[in-house]
Amino acid sequence: MARRRKLTNPLGLAVLAMLMGGPMHPYQIARLLKHRGKDDSIKIRYGSLYTVVQNLERQGFVEAEGTVRAGHRPERTVYRLTDDGRRELEDRIRELISEPVKEYPIFTSALSLVAVIHPDELAGLLAERLQVLEIEIAATTGVVDHAVAHRLPRLFLLETEHGLAMKRAEAEWVRGLMRELADGTFPDLKFWRAWHETGEFPGELADTDWAQADQAVLIQREAYHAPPPGRTDRPGEAEQPGQAEREVDETD
pLDDT value for 124 = 97
Q: Tell me how far the alpha carbon of residue 106 is from its chain's centroid.
A: 7
pLDDT value for 3 = 47
pLDDT value for 67 = 86
For residue 54, which of 9, 2, 93 has the smallest C-alpha distance?
Answer: 9
Tens digit of pLDDT for each residue in 4-63?
Answer: 568 889 999 999 999 999 999 999 999 999 999 999 899 888 888 999 999 999 999 999
- Of 117-126, 138-147, 177-186, 206-215, least confident by mean pLDDT is 206-215
pLDDT value for 221 = 59
Interval 152-172 mean pLDDT: 96
Q: Is the pLDDT of residue 106 over 90?
A: yes
Interval 147-159 mean pLDDT: 94
Strand partners, 62: 81
Domain boundaries 10-98, corresponding CATH code: 1.10.10.10
pLDDT value for 171 = 98
How much is the mean pLDDT over the chain? 87
Q: Is the pLDDT of residue 131 over 80?
A: yes
Q: Is the pLDDT of residue 148 over 80?
A: yes
- Interhelix angle 243-251/209-225, rounded to 10 degrees, is 110
For residue 78, the 8-state DSSP code is E
φ/ψ region of 17 (left if φ > 0, alpha if ψ in -120 to 50, else beta) reads alpha
Provide, rounded to the nearest whole percent, the portion of the chain with pLDDT above 70.
85
For the chain, what are the domain ranges? 10-98, 106-186
Pair 71, 191: CB distance under 8 Å? no
Tens digit of pLDDT for each residue in 69-101?
Answer: 776 677 899 999 999 999 999 999 999 999 999
Pair 57, 63: CB distance under 8 Å? yes
Pair 29, 19: CB distance under 8 Å? yes
Tens digit of pLDDT for each residue in 216-240?
Answer: 888 875 655 556 666 555 544 545 5
pLDDT value for 63 = 97
pLDDT value for 84 = 96
Question: 101-107, long-range: CB within 8 Å, 24+ apart, which pairs?
Answer: 107/170
pLDDT value for 230 = 60
**What is the SS3 assignment for 64?**
strand
- In whole angstroms, give the CA distance from residue 163 to residue 140: 9
pLDDT value for 203 = 78
What is the reported pTM?
0.78
* Alpha-helical segments (H) within the chain: 10-19, 26-35, 49-58, 83-98, 106-111, 119-149, 158-183, 189-198, 203-206, 209-225, 243-251
pLDDT tier at 1 (50, 70, 90 boundaries)? very low
Pair 28, 65: CB distance under 8 Å? no
pLDDT value for 75 = 85
Instruction: Please name the residues in contact with 19: beta carbons below 8 A apart, sequence gap of 6 or more.
Output: 29, 62, 79, 80, 81, 85
pLDDT value for 226 = 57
Neighbouring CB atoms inside 10 A of 96's CB total 13
